[in-house]
Structure 1
């Protein structure tokens, strides 16, 4: 299992959780972004810089993800592509994207895009808070525990 991070939009506090998890569980974490990133020195943490452009990082993640890998993203279409390839997807708020919920999430995303395109202000998501960070850490720990159990 590898962990891929849609790093351009991933909050710093979530990256810190991922860095600690990579070391603790000795799992490879790759942050994919269109700009240079500072990461701690680690055999398990690296970056992949891609060219700037719409969905370039997302497309690179989809090209590299394998069945069983985990992708950290809030991008619903990216999560759908990851699920289609047999990977897992988790939002920085700890919400798991699953085959059971992805269609409804895509539909809601498209609906909100339509509202915004028609001039209706829908606002963005609330700022990430401590409860979100804890929910992410808990969901990540659960997935990593399942992975560790399957390795033994």
Structure 2
């Protein structure tokens, strides 16, 4: 089991790294060349800045039972298909039961924006999001979430 982070879309790498370090779990952070990420604990893996390059690298890297932290529903869906865990940067666990609804809502929002409409952006990040993220990751690693 490893923790894999979509570094292009994850604001709380320090919280994730804290959980991985405490439980002695390997952690890989994937990002494109436009980001500068450093870590004393994690492996930082840089990809070209092409369209979906980080997403595809994560998909190719992930194995069954890995924990992937991503804000991208598409990446989460692919990860779930490989029998790995997907967690949002706010700590919500993506599952086979909720991912289809999330992908559908994303599709509808894209249609509204293409037609010139406006949709709400993400809510402001709160301290409780970091707590939920930490708890979700540690619960998965300890086997509390199956």
| TM-score of the pair, normalised by structure 2 | 0.92
CA contact (8 A) 1:37 1:47 kept: no
Answer 1 or 2: higher relative contact order, Cα 8 Å, separation at least 6. 2
CA distance in 2, matches of 1:25, 1:134: 16
Tell me how many residue pairs correspond in the alignment: 143
Indicate which of 16, 19, 22 corresponds to 2:20.
Answer: 22
CA distance in 2, matches of 1:124, 1:88: 25
1:106-121 superposed matches below 5 A: 106-121=103-118
CA contact (8 A) 2:4 2:69 kept: yes
Indicate which of 55, 68, 75 corresponds to 2:65.
Answer: 68
CA distance in 2, matches of 1:144, 1:86: 14
In structure 1, list runs of 5 or more residues that go unmatched: 148-152
CA contact (8 A) 2:67 2:137 kept: no
Shift of the alpha carbon at 1:38?
3.4
In structure 2, list runs of 5 or more residues that go unmatched: none
Q: Runs of 4+ in structure 1 displaced over 6 angstroms?
A: none
| TM-score of the pair, normalised by structure 1 | 0.89
SS at match of 1:8: helix
CA contact (8 A) 1:6 1:73 kept: yes
CA deviation map 1:78-116 (0-9, x unaligned): 100001111110001111110111111111110111111
CA distance in 1, matches of 2:133, 2:73: 16
Task: Indicate the residue corresponding to 2:101 in structure 1.
Answer: 104
1:87 aligns with 2:84: yes
Task: Indicate the residue corresponding to 1:56 in structure 2.
Answer: 53
- The two structures, once aligned, show a CA RMSD in angstroms of 1.3
Task: Indicate the residue corresponding to 1:5 in structure 2.
Answer: 5
CA contact (8 A) 1:4 1:32 kept: yes
Task: Indicate the residue corresponding to 2:36 in structure 1.
Answer: 37
